[in-house]
Amino acid sequence: MERLDAVVMGGGNLGKTLAADMALAGLRVGLYEVREMAPRTLGGVLKDGKLSMSGCQANPKGFRRSGIAQLELVTTDPKEAVEATKILLIAVPATHQERFFSEIIPHLRDGTVVSIHPDNFGSLVLRRMMREMGCDAEVVVGGWHSAPYGTRTGEDGELLCDVRESRQVFDALPSSDADAFEMAVGKLPIFDGASSLERADTVVGVGLENPNPAVHVPGSILNVGAMEVSETEGLFGIPRGRWSMYAHGMSPSVARVQLAFYMEELSIMRALGIRPTVVHPQEQFSSRLSIMAPEYRIPFGICLLHPENWRISGPTSVEHRYFTEDIPIGCVARLELARALGVKTPVIESLVRIGSALCSKDFESEGRTLSKMGLAGMEREEMLSYLRGGLRP
């Protein structure tokens, strides 16, 4: 019998912040982490179930929630985690989603709601894996275009939430489940005080509205030399480990590539026949915060980038998620969709190929392909029929 209001799957910074935020708001919350990762990511939380949350939590409304959160359940048993609730929040890097999906699928039951933060086309992967694993549970699956926080771990494991996102874009797979998804997840306190909820046009729209690939990938690849040299103490006046793409790598030329990337995203949406929730003006790309500024509504957020703070640091190597997640997941999914729809995306394709060379990877084959998203072989109308109504050819 369910006894918890929600269980968060994933013990990283985002997962712990989601769990702490809900617990501090008075919900009964559980937290799951895979067994081999738990000692490193959770530490003492495994024993006492306590999380400490603070930080400025910058947002236009000045909302803040801090304190010591007590979790009802901390477990490395996926069966225990899934059976303890009707609402599962998946909060792991997209590169780890398939591992977590494989853990929960055998235990899913009718009425479970699975919410993916951020989605990154993960809802498509989950549905495909459910079919392949023979899971016919009647569940609601949906996701969000971005995490609701900018958060990190401070000293002694304290969660430092720097910012709360002002808008959260969502949809379900299929879209016909969106009302049920919003009713179950949209009322959770993770959106309290700051976030407005906006429904996207299909979960492909959710994935394409994630701003990370358009900002992070050009900004990281075009600055990789300076980034790596800065890791030699004293060069450029940037201490080791303190390189910040936003503070040190944003320039007019980089912004032009980010804008070109974004225009290709819009072309993919038009070709599929879906609408964006917002169209960013070209002038926004001249901002040091790029399209992240309207995402968080923090023109004052430049304080986070001040050289004395460097609160948003990284990447500091090609092993950083700006390379290893945003290229194989975000960029490859966009490239695959574009090819299927007959859209030319030379900037995105070039970044995938250069990123593969930089990282000594074959991101095109390793990344989030149409096959992995369960969309291989589908024509445009077949995709829309599946995305909106769940009907497969």
What's phi and psi for 185, nearest 5 deg?
A: -100, -35
> Which of 200, 235, 257 lies at the terminal end of a domain, its last residue?
200
Query: How much is the average pLDDT of 66-80?
Result: 97
What confidence category does residue 267 fall into, taking pLDDT thresholds of 50, 70 and 90? Answer: very high
- Are 34 and 99 within 8 A, CB to CB? yes
Element (DSSP H or E) covering residue 90: strand 87-90
- Reported as a pLDDT band with limits 50, 70 and 90, residue 305 is very low
For residue 206, is it within any domain?
no
Mean predicted confidence (pLDDT) in 312-336: 95
Q: What angle do CA 166, 169, 175 make, to 5 degrees?
A: 160
* Token pair recorded at residue 298: 């923090």
- Between strands 159-164 and 50-54, the pairing is parallel
* pLDDT grade for 307, boundaries at 50, 70 and 90: very low
- Give the pLDDT mean for 324-342: 98
Same domain flag for 78 and 180: yes
Strand partners, 178: none
Q: According to the model, what pLDDT value does residue 1 have? A: 53
Give the range of the structural domain holding residue 322, as residue numbers without chain letter.
212-389
> In the chain, how many domains are there?
2
Q: Distance between CA atoms of 232 and 82, rounded to whole angstroms?
A: 46
Q: Is position 1 within any domain?
A: no
CATH number for position 105: 3.40.50.720
Q: How confident is the model at residue 311 (pLDDT cuts 50, 70, 90)?
A: low
For residues 343-357, give the mean pLDDT.
98
Q: Let me know whether 170 and 226 are in one domain.
A: no
The residue from 156, 177, 200 where one domain ends is: 200
> Is residue 274 domain-shared with residue 339, that is, in the same domain?
yes
Residues 232, 191 share a domain: no
Instruction: Clarify whether residues 264 and 192 are in a common domain.
Output: no
Read off the pLDDT band of 14 (50, 70, 90): very high
101 and 221 part of one domain = no
Q: Residue 312 carries which DSSP code? A: S
Same domain, 128 and 56: yes
Query: What CATH code is carried by the domain that includes residue 341?
Result: 1.10.1040.10
How many Å apart are CA 272 and CA 202, to the nearest integer?
11
CA distance 315 to 243: 7
pLDDT at site 326: 98
List the structure tokens of 60.
Answer: 């236009």
* Span of 88-102, 257-271, 300-314, 321-335 with lowest mean pLDDT: 300-314
- pLDDT score recorded for residue 166: 86
Token pair in block for residue 274: 């879906």
317 and 270 housed in the same domain: yes
d(CA 24, CA 184): 19
pLDDT above 90 (res 255): yes
- Tokens found for residue 187: 């009322």
- Give yes or no: residues 223 and 186 share one domain: no
CA-based nearest residue to 10, from 112, 87, 97 = 97
pTM of the model: 0.95
Q: Which of 166, 200, 234 lies at the terminal end of a domain, its last residue?
A: 200
Domain shared by 382 and 278, yes or no? yes
Coil, helix or strand for 393? coil
Query: Are residues 267 and 145 part of one domain?
Result: no
Confidence class for position 299, pLDDT limits 50, 70, 90 = low
Helix (H, G, I), strand (E, B) or coil at 172: strand
| Residue 268 and residue 171 in one domain | no
Does 205 reside within a domain? no
CA 54 to chain centre: 21
Q: Is 279 left (phi over 0), alpha (psi -120 to 50) or beta?
A: beta
